[in-house]
Amino acid sequence: MNQPELFPVKVSGEASFSLCRKYRYSLLRRWAPPQEPDKPALRYCMFIGLNPSTADERADDPTIRRCIRFARGWGYDGLVMANVFPLRSTDPKSLALTPVPRNELRRNWQAIAAEIRDCPL
């Protein structure tokens, strides 16, 4: 049986959006303190989903809360969430009916490539 944590961890967040905030390119959650120069690098877990839902730089949605639980349980210091499609929607089936402009798809793939490029292997 899982016990509640005695000292809940503060989670900080960042997100990258289009100017209209209709498209989200990446989302970051960190629960470890920021990296200090003489300490080892923070370890991030990357998740790639189909499309972003309602989470932003301040609020989590059920998927992000679940990913945080997984990443913390696996011993990571934070997570990066990326998606195949950048359109924010609570209904993934609607993606087939909503065309995403090519420039938004390109920005999304560039954001994913940048996140992967920065990850140590």
pTM, 2 dp:
0.81
Query: Running DSSP on this structure, what letter comes out for residue 4?
Result: P
Q: Where are the domains of the chain?
A: 12-117
pLDDT band of 119, cuts 50, 70, 90: low
Question: What's the pLDDT at 3?
Answer: 47
54-95 tens-digit pLDDT: 999 999 999 999 999 999 999 999 999 999 999 999 998 888
- The tokens 């349980």 sit on which residue? 73
Query: Running DSSP on this structure, what letter comes out for residue 92?
Result: G
Give the containing element (helix H, strand E) for 78.
strand 78-83
Residues in the chain: 121
